[in-house]
Structure 1
């Protein structure tokens, strides 16, 4: 009887271990080349492989995704022409990771390309690239998006006549303390800083309302160091990165480095930078380059400044967003033009990457995120 009981316990333990090694991943796409919308995968950490378990229909370019802090809901932007953009909410089955559509709302502007959720899960922020505006949405207790409660229209032009002809709001990043949101405008070469009221789902300019970078740089995505003292900005048009120190009281940013080169020394073609992430330890920063098709790798000093230490080919064309898994062991790169996600093993001591040989087919892959089951 004791042996039987022990066998049952061992079996339960092994089963739990097997389940815990698998995590759920979500992939946003453009609605081309047979894309079915938002894809759901199960990642087996031990094997280093991704297995598709669902796709949920969305033919409106559900490109960028964000998870609710509870893990119970997922949100996508739905890119569209001017004045026709939207955002959608989905319920997450916590047992399987599968999605069920809840509702959609207008983003009050065209070409929404980024969505973020505040840490209380009460407010969503959508960046309208085409419309040049930020839209702010209340989130109900049922996870559904209410109509936008606030919006901010940006204005201005930049020196790059083709890309900076009108405002292009590209991302809205929440501060670690959830008091401020940092909104990157590719055209104005500014990070606009707003105080946020998550209960009312409204924003107002902070006491220091923006930080500027070199004209023509093209701010795109922004990320914070795990210690909250430093922030890092993708400069899309110059394929560079800027580093800042942050005043936690006022939210103000002070420029530490600007126009730090991210391209390989021998690269001479056309390129635009895209995404940026820091590993969980805060020691290394990675930035994707579309054209060179690489991830630039930087070490982060104790003073927050960056030193480039390498370039990793991404094994695909046009790497958009990428994911560093929460444990820091793997990096997943979404390629828009080769319809695949490639998986890399990460050396946590050196920050360097090794391609695992795993290439997962996903049409027009744009954004990849992970949630532990």
Structure 2
């Protein structure tokens, strides 16, 4: 258990088969997880196919969860500031099955990306933290798989797996509207399949994980124009792996020194050192993951990586070596059917 006076670290794990969010507490010393509650995600009696994406508000006061079965509801939850437990506030409709959610820096807008529908959407968030119906829908190149605003809240980026492009739409936070025409700013290798991405160094760098060839691209980013310039592409796969794979998720440690990616074909987690001068990557570690590592997250202290095993129903717990970035498996926690998305906060 956390020591007296330590702010609790709370973990939210979306379980698509169960249509529930498991709420757990992370021991900051050992990484052990203890279940606090299971919160239903209402709106349909069908499982959420493939995933149940989550997103936190920038101030960590609200959590949003999207079911990927009709009528495609997004649920809004208030996070109790003392316990971390969730209270359902309301639901609204998304325009399609959405694979990814993100909020803007003001907490007034919810972005979503549809893989099957090839579209992005913006839903307004009211003063009480409740997501309302969509205010804008934008058609994209095939298979939009992720969407996030840049750190300055001026551009909305999206990775389109089927189009092999990354978009950067200008965004007006006052109106909640993006460019109405898709604006590609980077093209990957053909059939690489850009899937998820993270910003680094205040938005000066962008890292993209490519699902279909298991590579990670490093881009320099122009903060004024949103343009991307590729600096590096590096494989995260074990030696000897060829052909299409199923890379999934990507995250940086809070200090920006190490970057990790997951692959569902080889069931591995790969970690990279980030060069402090250039931002380029070099391999630091590779370990076995939970079966089908659909998503993972790193705790705010940068000490533990938690990996959801879609096929195992467990969350694997890995200690991060602060000097080398190496991962050591230290435990696992059963959470439910098809865990796929993890968010972690430290309560004030």
Question: Normalising to structure 2: TM-score of the pair?
Answer: 0.92
* Cα distance in 2, alignment partners of residues 65 and 297 from structure 1: 24
* Cα distance in 2, alignment partners of residues 364 and 91 from structure 1: 24
Contact 2:7 2:346 in 1 (8 A): no
Aligned equivalent of 1:173: 148
Contact 2:205 2:279 in 1 (8 A): yes
SS in structure 2 of the partner of residue 148 of structure 1: strand
Task: Report runs of 4+ in structure 1 exceeding 3 Å deviation.
Answer: 205-209, 266-270, 358-361
Which one of the candidate residues 36, 39, 55 is aligned to 1:53? 36
Contact 1:107 1:128 in 2 (8 A): no
Cα shift at 1:152: 0.4
**Number of equivalences:** 340
Cα shift at 1:270: 6.5
Are residues 1:132 and 2:106 paired? no
Cα shift at 1:96: 1.4
1:1-373 to 2 correspondence within 5 Å?
A: 17-20=3-6, 22-31=8-17, 35-58=18-41, 59=45, 60-61=47-48, 63-80=52-69, 84-109=71-96, 111-155=97-141, 167-204=142-179, 209-258=184-233, 260-267=234-241, 271-301=245-275, 302-314=277-289, 316-373=290-347
Aligned equivalent of 1:161: none
Which sections of structure 2, spanning at least 5 residues, go unmatched? none
- Structure possessing the higher radius of gyration over alpha carbons: 1
CA 1:224 to 1:255, structure 2 compared with 1: closer, same or farther past 3 Å? same
Cα RMSD, aligned residues only: 2.1
* Cα distance in 1, alignment partners of residues 2 and 193 from structure 2: 47
* Cα distance in 2, alignment partners of residues 268 and 16 from structure 1: 44
CA 1:207 to 1:246, structure 2 compared with 1: closer, same or farther past 3 Å? farther
CA 1:283 to 1:70, structure 2 compared with 1: closer, same or farther past 3 Å? closer
Cα distance per residue 1:25-57 (max 9 Å; x no partner): 1111212xxx25111111121242111111112
* Cα distance in 1, alignment partners of residues 184 and 240 from structure 2: 39
* Cα distance in 1, alignment partners of residues 281 and 167 from structure 2: 23
* Cα distance in 2, alignment partners of residues 361 and 85 from structure 1: 23
